[in-house]
Amino acid sequence: MTTHTHDHVLETEGDTITWWAPLYDVCTWLVSFGSVAGIRKSTVKAARLKAGEAVLDVGCGTGDLTLRAARRVGAEGRTAGIDASPNMVKIARRKAAKKGRDVDFRVASIEDLPFADGEFDAALSSFMIHHLPDDLKLRGLAEVRRVLKPGGRFVAVDLKPGKGIAGFISHLIGHSLPDDYAEQLRSIISEVGFEDVEILEVKSPLALFIRARR
């Protein structure tokens, strides 16, 4: 899970993010009712990552999903993660060092990715797109498409709309989503040029999974 643009907003409010980053993992576990590890596992599976591939985690937070992806692509692969929060990236780097993983964590925003065209085989995004206004969704997703190789995969995981547990959590964190949010997101991803945009059938009361191809 991530709060990429939300983190960016918090940083503009002063020192709020300083106390939020160390609590991020605990809060994520609590808010997801302990399901976040399974969601990350399903995210990596949906991306169809293979050994030796290059993968980017957009809005990596404290790096747990990024590190899971790094295990999948192996030492012969390449893994990068970006987040707007320096404090999140600092924690992610610390985790990578502790696990002995060579991951390229950088402070950056989704609308200005510090990578060349076509660098990655796959890109992941976890619980961050709903934070973006529509114009930034378009700019950011266009950037994600730019850094993917032709045929590269993009997996976006976000809050599932509705009145169930996801709806409760959306209301709790102040991001109530419309009932047709899944279709809206699929439409935006298609609008920036992605192909084969599909809503995946993944068993999760909380998470919406969308996969697309560059």
Phi, psi at residue 105, to the nearest 5°? -90, 130
Query: What's the domain count of the chain?
Result: 1
Is residue 167 pLDDT above 60, yes or no?
no
Find the range with the poorest average confidence among 1-5, 115-119, 132-136, 162-166.
1-5
User: What does the pLDDT read at residue 10?
Assistant: 34
Candidates 111, 104, 152; CA nearest to 129 is 111
Is residue 170 pLDDT above 90, yes or no?
no
Structure tokens at 39: 């969601």
Averaged pLDDT, 83-92: 94
User: What does the pLDDT read at residue 166?
Assistant: 56
* CATH number of the domain encompassing residue 145: 3.40.50.150
- C-beta atoms surrounding 184 within 10 Å: 15
Is residue 109 pLDDT above 90, yes or no?
yes
If pLDDT is split at 50, 70 and 90, which confidence band does 161 have? Answer: confident
Residues 48-84 have pLDDT tens digits of 999 999 999 999 999 999 999 999 999 999 999 999 9
User: What does the pLDDT read at residue 206?
Assistant: 82
Structure tokens at 49: 């990552």
Range of 197's domain? Answer: 4-213
If pLDDT is split at 50, 70 and 90, which confidence band does 179 have? Answer: confident
User: What does the pLDDT read at residue 68?
Assistant: 97
Place of tokens 């970006």: 82
Residues 14-48 have pLDDT tens digits of 334 444 566 565 566 555 555 678 899 999 999 99
Averaged pLDDT, 105-115: 97
Residues 184-213 have pLDDT tens digits of 999 999 999 999 999 999 887 788 999 999
pLDDT averaged over the chain? 84
pTM: 0.83
Could you give the C-alpha distances from 171 to 29, 31, 76, 116, 139, in angstroms and in order? 17, 12, 42, 38, 26
If pLDDT is split at 50, 70 and 90, which confidence band does 2 have? Answer: very low
User: What does the pLDDT read at residue 160?
Assistant: 85
Rounded Cα distance between 214 and 197, Å, is 10
User: What does the pLDDT read at residue 135?
Assistant: 93
Is residue 13 pLDDT above 70, yes or no?
no
